[in-house]
Amino acid sequence: MQVTATQAKNRFGAICAQAKTEPVFVEKDGRIDTVILSARQYLDLQAASQAEPLAQRKARFEQTYSAWINEQNQRFEAQGLWCDDMRVW
């Protein structure tokens, strides 16, 4: 939906109700100036912009914990798994 700034001002309650179903584009001086969204749409948009791709999270984890990862790998190479000699009854 697209409205003028004057329409948005005069019908603010109706515009807010409409924004719950779709974004409302407010036009000022012949150009879109503002977009009115529902709180849910805004939170979804904010969460999507903050979502970090898995590859980036993995790279950051490996960089942050590289010393611990190397220590665990060395321990595995030297001693193997702690449960290698366990027997199934």
What was the pLDDT predicted at 14?
Answer: 95
What residues make up the domain containing 11? 2-37
With a cut of 50, list the residues of the chain below it in pLDDT. none
Residues 6 and 33 in one domain: yes
What was the pLDDT predicted at 85?
Answer: 73
The DSSP symbol for 53 reads: P
**Residue at 67 is within a domain:** yes
What was the pLDDT predicted at 66?
Answer: 94
**Residue at 69 is within a domain:** yes
- Alpha helices, H only, 11-64: 12-19, 39-50, 54-64
What was the pLDDT predicted at 65?
Answer: 94
Q: Residues for the chain: how many in total?
A: 89
Nearest-10 Cα torsion for 34, 39, 41, 45: 80
Q: Based on the structure, what is the number of domains in the chain?
A: 2
